[in-house]
Amino acid sequence: MAIKFLFLFMDGVGLGPNDPETNPLIQARTPNLQALLDGSQLAAGVAPLETERASLLALDPNLGVGGLPQSATGQAALLTGRNIPQAVGEHYGPKPNPAVAGEIRKGTLFSTLRQRGYTAALLNAYPQGYFDGIQSGKRLYSAIPLAVTEAGLALKTSADLASGAALTADFTGEGWRRFIGPPDLPVIDGQAAGRKLAALAASYDFAFFEYWFSDYAGHRQDKAQAVELMESFDAVLGGLLDAWDDDAGLILLTSDHGNLEDMTTRRHTANPVPGLVIGAAELRARFCANLHALTDVAPAILGFYD
């Protein structure tokens, strides 16, 4: 049975201690997330948790490989269902090296779904400067856009953003208007952005959105920014939940490694990452049946698209 699927990727978010002094996920006011989790928060010891609308699992990002998990190999593991750190002999990141890129080119969720005749898209818009940097060789694709382009799918552009077919990385457009332009770019609030995210996802069989600000704030050890980001994200989540049809599909919120949940370090953590699944109970049960690590995510998704 094919369903609608939204993969909501939050870079660098683990399940850390229930301590507001060190964990912005605990300090932040996140009423929509907490209502979804029956008052709980994204913290160590909460998962597994079942509520009326959501399932929360703790997923292993370490995959039996020593050292701290990194972005390129963690994202590749999520996208391929294969133990990429083990295959290349280390956790590696942030951008794919030739070994990780080679693993991505062997096939990902995007390429497999396209081969099976399903529609898939990365919903993030990229500014022209990004494409110029890639073309000049001054910038490298990270794992997610590399997987998209290797599948023969186009990354969304500023034209897609203007036409309403994409969202900026911060959901609302505020960052683009302030730092990229144009200065008159419309800015929407979080609730409206969440509803738009739901509508865009519903136009594809499989949709992916990458939110990388969480990892950035963790590396900076900027607790105030991290709290603000989580509160802004919660507003988007509220709009998304209002607009999402639980019977028609699933939302997965997960990450590649921990970082934001521990402000005592600039480094990644070995903490498990959340596997937050939203949708009808029957769909969630099927999806979560064998979900324990990053490598289990892609097979669980593809099970709905045989």
What pLDDT digit, counting tens, does each position of 194-249 carry? 999 999 999 999 999 999 888 777 788 888 999 999 999 999 999 999 999 999 99
Distance from C-alpha of 59 to C-alpha of 258, rounded to nearest angstrom: 11
What pLDDT digit, counting tens, does each position of 178-207 carry? 888 788 888 999 999 999 999 999 999 999
Range of the domain at 236: 4-302
What pLDDT digit, counting tens, does each position of 126-174 carry? 999 999 999 999 999 999 999 999 999 999 999 999 999 999 999 999 9
The CATH number covering residue 18 comes to 3.40.720.10
Average pLDDT, the chain: 95
pLDDT at 107 over 60: yes
Which whole-number Å values give the CA distances from 66 to 21, 75, 102, 145, 285, in the listed order?
Answer: 29, 17, 21, 27, 31
**What DSSP string describes 220-277?**
HT-HHHHHHHHHHHHHHHHHHHHH--TTTEEEEEE-SSB-TT-TT-SS-B---EEEEE
- Domain count for the chain, please give it: 1
pLDDT at 286 over 80: yes
pLDDT at 1 over 60: no
What pLDDT digit, counting tens, does each position of 46-102 carry? 999 999 999 999 999 999 999 999 999 999 999 999 999 999 999 999 999 999 999
pLDDT at 127: 94
